[in-house]
A and B are shown apart, each in its own frame.
Chain A
Amino acid sequence: MSAPTARVGVGPVGPGPASGPRVPTTRRQGRPWRLGDAVVPLFAALAFLYLLVPIAYTVAFSFNDAGRSNLVWRGFTLANWANPCGAPQVCEALGNSLKVGVIATVVSTALGTLIALALVRYRFRGRALANLLVFLPMSTPEVVLGAALLAQFLSLRVNPGFGTVVAAHVMFCISFVVVTVKARVASLDPRLEEAAADLYSSPWQAFWRVTFPLLVPGILAAALLAFSLSFDDFIITNFNSGSFTTFPKFVYVSATRGIPPQANVIGSAMFALALLLVVSVQLVSVARRRRR
């Protein structure tokens, strides 16, 4: 993949720094240090702390020798990590979340990418309407989406469960995929496809040899976004799941009685996994850049 992945895969942030002219940093060298220079970073540091405190808490309490309810610190243990499925249902819920997340990601990424290509590359009648249809689900609160889907499933006498949850997740992921991929498509130079055609590529070859490889970072970013949205969704799931339980729903339901420490283990592990993934992607791209 090209430069953009280097930016922690933050996705379609344009062609990336490598292709542009080298820009100077804003720090003016040689200017006397002022108190003001420290205020903003200090404030930001506090904000980061705010962001990370509950995660630290979650990780810490995954090592709590808790018994049934994980409310107060009772001593350090590795037992929860050794047996993350120890609490009833927790791994089943996690498995459900992963299953729903993967299916919703694949389907919504495929559908959303196609829409994004159409919206950027073509002018056609009804384009404004298509844009609106993509925008609306994003500007509708989750309760409304959940209630609307439930109203439909009720009136169709569909029993809520795995299927309805997947259907709902695909729906709210599509719009985010479209927006993410769209930005990437829009930042592609259309002349590249023309150059491919000029160099004897059929439209099909031009797409797979040039357009698609250049869209990959954007598509991956969109897929990751879709997965994290699906994996973390509670409200819409709660409306449309019936007795089917996902990980967030499991945590919410058990919150009243006390969350088992195994849930903390799973939350912490997901966090660590995400961290590891992103850091290694970054290290690879830094290393690749060094090598050149």
Chain B
Amino acid sequence: MSIVAALGHGPGNGPAPAPVRRARGGAYLLLAPGLAYLGLFFVVPVVALLATSLYVPVPGGDVGQFQPAFEWANYTRALATYWPQMVRSFAYALIATLAALVIAYPMAYVIAVRARGRVFLQGMLLVLVIAPFFTSFILRTVAWKQILADESFVVAAMRAVSLLPPDGRLTATSFAVVAGLTYNFLPFMTLPIYASLERLDPRLVEAGADLYANGPTTFWRVTLPLSMPGVVSGTLLTFIPASGDYVNSVLLGNNTTTMIGQVVDSRFFKVSDYPTAAALSVVLMVAILLLVTAYVRRSGTEELL
């Protein structure tokens, strides 16, 4: 239930710094199994991915047969063909992240600050944020698809009051894809912000009110800056998965809303073009790492973990 925790504002909320022990092998013993696992199932696969991205087809071989090589042209070719999907993915993810932030912050604020002290209410509201995880997110996305379908009463009603032109639709649009992304990652945005607001000492806000004497100013000068770690975690936990997602664009979009994840998936499974799929994956991973590093540096919350 605690994605809240996943947010990782890391240590720093604890009491006095721990008198840390010097490793007497103990640390390595504790780390060994887990890190070996990550090495085997994360590092090695990423290396395999890098290798695959440079493969060339076996001359005269079947579809899906490749041999090791250093074909850097795979990258230029993949990017030349698929840069629109790449750019679109980041654009959609960015818009969805900002939208989720705008929607999630007031939710988190109400749960953490307005409901403070009312344990049961606070608990219930939190459950409502967390519980969607347990209905499959695909089921919920399909639900959106059907709620917004052309023949649904939502569309009929919007057409009736001219919110939509008579032939206007809600599904199969980029709006629907972004709305779906926003929707699906909303809890990942809400919970970290909730966690940082929850931890915020109300006396600081009162001191702020005392000094600035005006609600909005206190919010901008005190509350928001203090909740920044939550905002940073939330935006990362939304942006990263959103940029690689393709379920929303498949279920809610059309062939002009294709995202990069969709391309990787179809290169792998439909045409067995492993090198292109791998090259695109590597580009996506590197781009996100660069973005995340720059973002974390800028926002000054280095110790993210």
> Which residues of A come within 8 Å of B, CB atoms?
6-15, 23-28, 36, 40-41, 43-44, 47-48, 50-55, 57-58, 61, 71-72, 111-112, 114-115, 117-125, 127, 130-131, 133-145, 147-152, 154-155, 167-168, 170-171, 174-176, 178-180, 182-184, 186-190, 218, 221-222, 224-225, 228, 231-232, 234-235, 238-239, 247-248, 251-252, 255, 259, 263-264, 267-268, 270-271, 273-275, 278-279, 282, 286
Confirm or deny: B289 has a beta carbon within 8 angstroms of a beta carbon on chain A.
yes
Rounded to whole angstroms, the CA-CA distance of A231 and B158 in the bound complex is 36
- The interface on chain B, measured as residues whose beta carbon lies within 8 A of the other chain's beta carbons, has a size of 124
Cβ-closest chain B residue relative to A132: B305
Contacting A at CB under 8 A, from B201-253, are: 201-203, 205-206, 209, 215, 236, 240-241, 243-247, 251
Cβ-closest chain A residue relative to B64: A154
Cβ-closest chain B residue relative to A246: B136
With A118-B31, A174-B37: A143-B143 Cβ-Cβ less than 8 Å: no
Contacts of B142 in A (CB 8 A): 251, 255, 259
Contacts of B113 in A (CB 8 A): 26
A183 touches B11 (CB 8 A): yes
Contact mask for chain B residues 20-33; partner A; CB cutoff 8 A; 1 contact, 0 none: 11110011101101
Contacts of B117 in A (CB 8 A): 25
A225 touches B120 (CB 8 A): no
Contacting A at CB under 8 A, from B64-121, are: 103-104, 106-107, 109-111, 113-114, 116-117, 119-120
Rounded to whole angstroms, the CA-CA distance of A165 and B47 in the bound complex is 19
A252 touches B138 (CB 8 A): yes
Cβ-closest chain A residue relative to B136: A248
Contacts of B144 in A (CB 8 A): 54
B138 touches A234 (CB 8 A): yes
Contact mask for chain B residues 277-301; partner A; CB cutoff 8 A; 1 contact, 0 none: 1100110110011001000000000
Rounded to whole angstroms, the CA-CA distance of A256 and B92 in the bound complex is 24
> In whole Å, how far is B68's beta carbon from the nearest beta carbon of chain A?
9
A44 touches B110 (CB 8 A): yes
B34 touches which of A72, A114, A138, A139 (Cβ 8 Å): A114
Question: Could you say which of B133, B203, B241 has the most chain A C-beta atoms within 10 Å of its C-beta?
Answer: B133
Pull 15 A–B residue pairs with CB atoms less than 8 Å apart, ordered by A.
A7-B126, A13-B4, A47-B186, A130-B31, A134-B305, A144-B244, A144-B281, A151-B278, A183-B11, A189-B16, A228-B1, A235-B244, A268-B135, A270-B135, A278-B1
B103 touches A274 (CB 8 A): no
Contacts of B241 in A (CB 8 A): 141-142
B30 touches A152 (CB 8 A): no
> In whole Å, how far is B91's beta carbon from the nearest beta carbon of chain A?
15
Confirm or deny: B42 has a beta carbon within 8 angstroms of a beta carbon on chain A.
yes
A218 touches which of B5, B119, B124, B304 (Cβ 8 Å): B5
Contacts of B141 in A (CB 8 A): 54
The 5 closest A-B pairs by CB, nearest first: A141-B244, A11-B2, A186-B11, A124-B23, A180-B5
> Which residues of B come within 8 Å of A, CB atoms?
1-16, 18-23, 26-28, 30-31, 33-35, 37-39, 41-46, 48-49, 51-52, 103-104, 106-107, 109-111, 113-114, 116-117, 119-120, 122-147, 149, 151, 183, 186-187, 191, 195, 198-199, 201-203, 205-206, 209, 215, 236, 240-241, 243-247, 251, 260-261, 264-265, 268, 274, 277-278, 281-282, 284-285, 288-289, 292, 304-305
Rounded to whole angstroms, the CA-CA distance of A71 and B146 in the bound complex is 7
With A251-B136, A267-B139: A24-B284 Cβ-Cβ less than 8 Å: no
Question: Could you say which of B5, B145, B183, B199 has the most chain A C-beta atoms within 10 Å of its C-beta?
Answer: B5
Rounded to whole angstroms, the CA-CA distance of A273 and B135 in the bound complex is 10
Contacts of B18 in A (CB 8 A): 120-121, 186, 190
Contacts of A115 in B (CB 8 A): 30-31, 34-35
> In whole Å, how far is A268's beta carbon from the nearest beta carbon of chain B?
7
A225 touches which of B6, B19, B110 (Cβ 8 Å): B6
Cβ-closest chain A residue relative to B37: A111
> In whole Å, how far is A3's beta carbon from the nearest beta carbon of chain B?
11
Contacts of B48 in A (CB 8 A): 148, 151-152, 155
Rounded to whole angstroms, the CA-CA distance of A138 and B241 in the bound complex is 9
Rounded to whole angstroms, the CA-CA distance of A154 and B305 in the bound complex is 32
A144 touches B284 (CB 8 A): yes
A286 touches B130 (CB 8 A): no
